[in-house]
Amino acid sequence: MAAEIVVVGSANLDLVVEVDRVPAVGETVMGGDLRRIPGGKGANQAVAAARLGRDVAMVGRLGADEGGEILRAALNADGVDTTQMITTEDVPNGVALISVGSDGDNAIVVSPGANARVTPTDIEAAADMLRNAAVTLLQLEIPLDAVTAAAHAAHGIVILNPAPAPAEPLPEGLLARVDILVPNQTELATLTGHDGPITAEIATTLATTLPSQAVVVTLGADGALVVDRGAVTHVSAPSVTPVDTTAAGDSFCGALADALVRGESLIDAARWAIRVGAATTLRPGAQPSLPTPTEVEQLLA
Ligand code: RIB
């Protein structure tokens, strides 16, 4: 059966340590025991959508090592089709070094490993999958030429989560090929060259300068702004006390895709995504924190 959602992106083994507070530059802090947890923005988004009930396939690369085996097994356990996840000889799997503070905030360093080897040729090999998917979900933890190739190969709705914020300008035409751009405030500032704090008002103005059809700006605890053909809607977030925000943005994107496949409007999809994202912050770890629909209601009750 064709996948409803195809995620083109990264899969990392997250090496996670809990700390009282995330260390400042040059500082050493003591933390808890090391945990190894399946993560990576692409894999998290794929698993998020799969747990919400969607048929999902993922396109990308895994290392020929234990990390790659753990990631493939984790994706398969959630029913994600990994036939287009290429195991790359002599390359380590992507790894993310994550410290999580007691307030749920985190700092992350990613060593991309196999993720950095994804090529436009890999995307061509997945062309049928991309042609048949209702939604294609993209992020920026794999090379930009592969992301751009995927955006052009997709026939359904293209969602780009421009995370992490790009260090170089995006290729010409990529944003125009994106139907729904989902940046957080930092990513929006980077994409628009804005300096200084971003209020909701500034975010709205900046979002309208981007060539994507619609922009959904995530605002953390303040919810999200949906900017669609000149109309702006603020969606508020449920009040929660987060224990770990690592995968909140990823579950937001997976849930947005899930709701759009089910035919919901963009605003209703953002309302659902905000709830799923908030529920995700209430459990630790990236993929272990991603909820089913029943768990969303239980966690937010
Ligand atoms: O978005 C969260 C993810 O970012 C983590 O799982 C980590 O792997 C990094 O890629």
CATH number at residue 54: 3.40.1190.20
Joined tokens for residue 13: 């083994």
In a domain, 141, yes or no: yes
* 99 in any annotated domain: no
Q: Would residue 250 show up in a list of annotated catalytic residues for this protein?
A: yes
The proportion of the chain whose per-residue pLDDT surpasses 90, expressed as a percent, equals 92
List the residue whose alpha carbon is closest to atom 7 of ligand 1.
40
Q: Classify residue 22: in a domain, yes or no.
A: no
Segment 273-301 mean pLDDT: 97
Determine, yes or no, domain membership for 254. yes
d(CA 207, ligand 1 centre) in Å: 24
pLDDT tens sequence across 103-124 = 888 899 999 999 999 999 999 9
Number of domains forming the structure of the chain? 1
Residue 161 counted as domain residue: yes
Report the distance separating Cα 166 and Cα 126, nearest Å: 25
The reply to whether 76 falls in a domain is no
241 confidence band (pLDDT: 50, 70, 90): very high
Mean pLDDT of the chain: 96
Does position 131 have pLDDT exceeding 90, yes or no?
Answer: yes
User: How many Å separate Cα 145 from the centre of its chain?
Assistant: 18
| Enclosing domain of residue 142 | 5-9+41-59+118-300
- The minimum-distance atom of ligand 1 relative to the CA of 94 is 8
Q: Is residue 49 part of a domain?
A: yes
Per-residue pLDDT, averaged over 247-252, amounts to 97
Give the residues surrounding ligand 1 with Cβ less than 6 Å away: 12, 14, 39-41, 44, 96, 108, 110, 141, 246-247, 249-250, 286
Residue nearest to atom 1 of ligand 1 (CA): 41
Enumerate residues 6+ apart whose C-beta is below 8 A from 103. Answer: 21, 242
Of ligand 1's listed atoms, the one at least distance from the Cα of 287 is 6
Residue 172 is predicted with a pLDDT of 82
* pLDDT given at position 283: 96
Question: Is 236 within 8 Å of 223 (Cβ atoms)?
Answer: yes
Residue 108 in any domain: the answer is no
- pTM, full prediction: 0.96
